[in-house]
Amino acid sequence: MTDHSVIPVKPELAQGNRVDAARRAEMAERAARDPEGFWREEAGRIAWMTPPTRIKNTSFEGDVSIKWFEDGVLNASVSCLDQHLAERGDQVAIIWEGDDPNSDSKVTYRELHERVCRMANVLRSLGVKKGDRVTLYLPMIVEAAVAMLACARVGAVHSIVFGGFSPDSLSSRIQDCDSTLLITADQGRRGGRTVPLKTNADEALRSCPSVKNVIVVRNTGGGVPMEEGRDHWWHTLSEAAAADCEPEPMSAEDPLFILYTSGSTGKPKGVLHTTGGYMVWASFTHELVFDYRPGEIYWCTADVGWVTGHSYIVYGPLANGATTLMFEGVPNYPGVDRCWQVVDKHKVNIFYTAPTAIRALMREGEAPVKKWSRQSLRVLGSVGEPINPEAWLWYYRVVGDERCPIVDTWWQTETGGILISPLPGAVDLKPGSATLPLPGVQPALVDGEGQLLEGAADGNLVILDSWPGQMRTVYKDHERFIQTYFSTFPGKYFSGDGARRDADGYYWITGRVDDVLNVSGHRMGTAEIESALVAHPKVAEAAVVGMPHELKGQGIYAYVTLTSGEEPSEALRKELVAWVRKEIGPIASPDAIQWAPGLPKTRSGKIMRRILRKIAANETDSLGDISTLADPTVVEELIGNRVG
Ligand code: PRX
């Protein structure tokens, strides 16, 4: 089957869908013709203390200013909790499935509301006020959702740091936003192993004087030191707190959270999302893209440390009154059939995961999947990286028994929620394509000079106008926001991705066109890995590029020049891999390190990454022009010593 094959909507399966092809077209037309009217109505999906009268006030020009629903007043935790109590207080809000298949729990909306209120009172009692930053460094436990919503309830801005990040990565993220409080756990559990969260946090906090209080969840019970006056047990504080808590009235444009993400240069930047537009977007897209129907069980396998966990484990599903499944573990523990076992156990209707997981499970064959019925499944989703047609078809055929539409959802931390995706039952599918924009989203392709490309074309993916879920700024650095997203193609939001559009107007995301890698769906800047490497005393220079990787999508290929007098060795290679893991976290471990006595540079000293990428990908017969290099002989040397 070529990638142009079409899998048409199956009308018998689309029955009962909220949106069919005609309704989708109608929505897209209305959103384009009358954005104010369209978004005024959609804003009604969340709970407002004061509904907005001013809807859209955005400009991609000059200083770039993005405001949605700006005179509205709300609290995100009310939309996720209080608004459901009357109708579905006893419905399960969160199903928690532990790393250990014998441990799970269920929390109703009423219970979740109470737990959030208690923790919100705790935060207030520790002096946390509206606008203060609170960092969360937590495993995938219910307390993570409680902590997020408790911050939202008191108007604090949460910044979640993925539990797989190192103490250094944690401290730089705390320092950047001056958090006054950290919420962590004794340890996390993943794939049968423990993650030393509190120990990492203690190390990080040595360089974070802004943090005055640490709340520690007793999760595994593994003993951890508690610092008198600074560290408090979650359960002790929350048991003592009142079970009711007045939500802080927030303006729609008050910040809800910061989430650090990697770019092509410098340190990770604090992507800032605000309250009103983000909540509308999370709710709108969760309902449309997954065709979410009341009473259904929805499972997104992401971690709350990434944006997917924010929008599609917590805020979107809870705003929509869904039952959201939170999974502590990994897809291959204790066996490679874990996902399907969980699907059957909890009767999951909607399953949302990453291509890297699908590829890994595909390698194990069909038997572990077929062992389970998966009869409850209705919609399957994919996110985080391009999905190759083979993996798409396996997901469709083997996991979904050709019964479940696949929604390949394209979006980014910056976009707050999904922008390009099929809607189940409304859009014909093509394996490997994210298909069409959602109503209200205006993607376009431009060439290197910023000229708009028409019809079938290949180019840089930009968005022409704002949507409610868009990030508002880089925390404390609006100039960087403008520079990063609006200066390459002035007046347009530049995603950093390349894409192809076919004759049917379908988008095929081809991957990043900047120096950002996507390793197993995790986004990483080459510059970050390079600076970790050169921080090692034996490294003089390093250049990092992506290389094709069967499972991870992209692997990390590092060229390392040692300081004079140092000799390459297997021991040093291992030491450098361990060093990067310690500096950034295990997700940044280089897959290959090539010793490079010299790097290909232009006469002005700029490293020609294009050449390094070609060598890493073993495409050395198409290196292109190397005549502008200061010393073309280094290329021969690098080709001769390619790793792998
Ligand atoms: O390159 C695109 C890729 O992931 C990047 C965004 O990464 P992050 O901000 O970490 O958010 C990941 C979860 C939304 C994008 O610039 N990406 C994400 N979804 C897709 C994708 N590439 C292709 N197809 C997708 N469905």
What string of H, E and C letters represents the secondary structure of 489-524?
CCCCEEEEEEEEECCCCCEEEEEECCCEEEECCEEE
Residue pair 156/132 in contact (Cβ under 8 Å)? The answer is: yes
Query: Structure pTM?
Result: 0.96
Q: 119 C-alpha vs ligand 1 centroid, how far in Å?
A: 33
Q: Was 385 annotated as part of a binding site?
A: yes
Q: 497 C-alpha vs ligand 1 centroid, how far in Å?
A: 9
Residue 293, burial from CB neighbour count under 10 angstroms (0-12, 13-18, 19+) = middle
Any ligand 1 atom below 6 A from CB of 415: no
> Per residue in 100-158, pLDDT tens?
999 999 999 999 999 999 999 999 999 999 999 999 999 999 999 999 999 999 999 99
Residue pair 251/76 in contact (Cβ under 8 Å)? The answer is: no
Substitution site in 162, 281, 412, 474 for ligand 1 pocket (most atoms within 8 Å of beta carbon): 412
Q: 385 C-alpha vs ligand 1 centroid, how far in Å?
A: 5
- 99: which residues sit within 8 A by CB, 6+ positions away? 189, 190, 191, 192, 328, 329, 330, 333
Distance CA 437, CA 239 (A): 46
Distance CA 239, CA 156 (A): 21
Look at residue 473 and give its three-state secondary structure: strand
Taking phi over 0 as left and psi of -120 to 50 as alpha, with beta for the rest, 556 belongs to beta
| Mean pLDDT computed over every residue of the chain | 96
Long-range contacts of 562-566 (CB under 8 A, 24+ apart): 562/538, 562/595, 563/537, 563/538, 563/539, 564/540, 566/538
Distance CA 339, CA 448 (A): 42
Any ligand 1 atom below 6 A from CB of 425: no
Residue 541, burial from CB neighbour count under 10 angstroms (0-12, 13-18, 19+) = middle
Structure tokens that stand for 262 in this block: 């990697």
The pLDDT value recorded for residue 604 is 86
The pLDDT value recorded for residue 2 is 45
Structure tokens that stand for 353 in this block: 């995961």
pLDDT, mean of residues 447-463:
98
Structure tokens that stand for 27 in this block: 């929505």
Residue pair 192/333 in contact (Cβ under 8 Å)? The answer is: yes
Q: Was 110 annotated as part of a binding site?
A: no
The pLDDT value recorded for residue 644 is 80
Which among 65, 81, 53, 68 is positioned nearest to 252, based on CA atoms? Answer: 68
Q: 282 C-alpha vs ligand 1 centroid, how far in Å?
A: 16
Q: How confident is the model at residue 495 (pLDDT cuts 50, 70, 90)?
A: very high
Any ligand 1 atom below 6 A from CB of 176: no
From the CA of 410, give the closest atom in ligand 1.
26
Of residues 502 and 12, the one with the higher pLDDT is 502
The pLDDT value recorded for residue 3 is 47
The pLDDT value recorded for residue 151 is 99
Q: Was 595 annotated as part of a binding site?
A: no
Q: 290 C-alpha vs ligand 1 centroid, how far in Å?
A: 18
Any ligand 1 atom below 6 A from CB of 413: yes
Residue pair 329/337 in contact (Cβ under 8 Å)? The answer is: no
The pLDDT value recorded for residue 12 is 75
pLDDT, mean of residues 263-274:
92
Q: 275 C-alpha vs ligand 1 centroid, how far in Å?
A: 22
Residue with tokens 């995100």: 76
pLDDT, mean of residues 242-270:
95
Q: Was 132 annotated as part of a binding site?
A: no
Any ligand 1 atom below 6 A from CB of 262: no
The pLDDT value recorded for residue 260 is 98
- 286: which residues sit within 8 A by CB, 6+ positions away? 292, 311, 312, 316, 317, 319, 320, 322, 417
Residue with tokens 């990483």: 524
Q: Which amino acid is at 245?
A: C
Nearest C-alpha to atom 5 of ligand 1 is from which residue? 412
Any ligand 1 atom below 6 A from CB of 408: yes
Residue pair 451/423 in contact (Cβ under 8 Å)? The answer is: no
**pLDDT at 627 > cutoff 60:** yes
**pLDDT at 517 > cutoff 70:** yes
Distance, C-alpha 279 to centroid of its chain? 16
pLDDT, mean of residues 34-42:
98
Nearest C-alpha to atom 23 of ligand 1 is from which residue? 386
Nearest C-alpha to atom 24 of ligand 1 is from which residue? 386
Q: What CA–CA distances, in Å, run from 289 to 293, 417, 419?
A: 11, 10, 10
Residue pair 3/433 in contact (Cβ under 8 Å)? The answer is: yes
Any ligand 1 atom below 6 A from CB of 307: yes
Substitution site in 497, 507, 526 for ligand 1 pocket (most atoms within 8 Å of beta carbon): 497
Structure tokens that stand for 480 in this block: 């960087």
Residue pair 21/427 in contact (Cβ under 8 Å)? The answer is: yes
Phi, psi for residue 530 in degrees, rounded to 5: -60, -45
How many percent of the chain have pLDDT more than 90?
A: 94
Residues in the chain: 644
Q: What CA–CA distances, in Å, run from 610 to 407, 525, 614?
A: 33, 16, 6
Q: 496 C-alpha vs ligand 1 centroid, how far in Å?
A: 10
Substitution site in 518, 528, 554 for ligand 1 pocket (most atoms within 8 Å of beta carbon): 518
Residue pair 47/74 in contact (Cβ under 8 Å)? The answer is: yes
Q: Before 334, cis peptide (omega within 30)?
A: yes
> What is the C-alpha end-to-end distance of the chain, expressed in Å?
31
Q: What is the DSSP string of 272-305?
A: EEESHHHHHHHHHHHHHHTT--TT-EEEE---TT
Q: 75 C-alpha vs ligand 1 centroid, how far in Å?
A: 28
Distance CA 318, CA 113 (A): 11
Q: 499 C-alpha vs ligand 1 centroid, how far in Å?
A: 12
- 295: which residues sit within 8 A by CB, 6+ positions away? 91, 323
Structure tokens that stand for 334 in this block: 């204790």
Q: Where are the alpha helices (DSSP H) in 347-412?
A: 355-362, 367-370, 389-394
Residue pair 319/153 in contact (Cβ under 8 Å)? The answer is: no
Distance CA 128, CA 386 (A): 41
Any ligand 1 atom below 6 A from CB of 509: yes
Any ligand 1 atom below 6 A from CB of 433: no
pLDDT, mean of residues 532-561:
96
From the CA of 522, give the closest atom in ligand 1.
10
pLDDT, mean of residues 342-352:
98
Q: 384 C-alpha vs ligand 1 centroid, how far in Å?
A: 4
From the CA of 413, give the closest atom in ligand 1.
9
The pLDDT value recorded for residue 4 is 53
Q: What is the pairing mode between strands 193-195 and 188-190? A: antiparallel
**pLDDT at 624 > cutoff 50:** yes
Percent of residues in the chain assigned helix, strand, coil, to nearest 5: 35, 25, 40
Please list the residues that pair with 269 across neighbouring strands: 261
Residue pair 551/360 in contact (Cβ under 8 Å)? The answer is: yes
pLDDT, mean of residues 607-614:
93
pLDDT, mean of residues 284-303:
97
Provide the angle, in degrees to the nearest 10, between the axes of the packed helices 35-43 and 21-33. Answer: 120
Distance CA 187, CA 146 (A): 17
Q: 383 C-alpha vs ligand 1 centroid, how far in Å?
A: 7
Q: Was 386 annotated as part of a binding site?
A: yes
Any ligand 1 atom below 6 A from CB of 512: yes
Which among 308, 370, 359, 300 is positioned nearest to 332, based on CA atoms? Answer: 359
From the CA of 511, give the closest atom in ligand 1.
1
Q: Was 193 annotated as part of a binding site?
A: yes
Residue pair 304/145 in contact (Cβ under 8 Å)? The answer is: yes
Compute the chain's Rg from CA coordinates.
Answer: 24
Which among 221, 210, 307 is positioned nearest to 260, based on CA atoms? Answer: 307
Q: 486 C-alpha vs ligand 1 centroid, how far in Å?
A: 19
Q: Was 308 annotated as part of a binding site?
A: yes
**pLDDT at 562 > cutoff 50:** yes
The pLDDT value recorded for residue 1 is 40
- The CB-side HSE value for 474 (13 A sphere, CA atoms) comes to 19
Q: Was 539 annotated as part of a binding site?
A: yes
Structure tokens that stand for 524 in this block: 């990483």
> Per residue in 317-340, pLDDT tens?
999 999 999 999 999 999 999 999
Residue with tokens 């999951």: 348
Distance CA 29, CA 22 (A): 11
Q: What is the pairing mode between strands 56-59 and 65-68? A: antiparallel
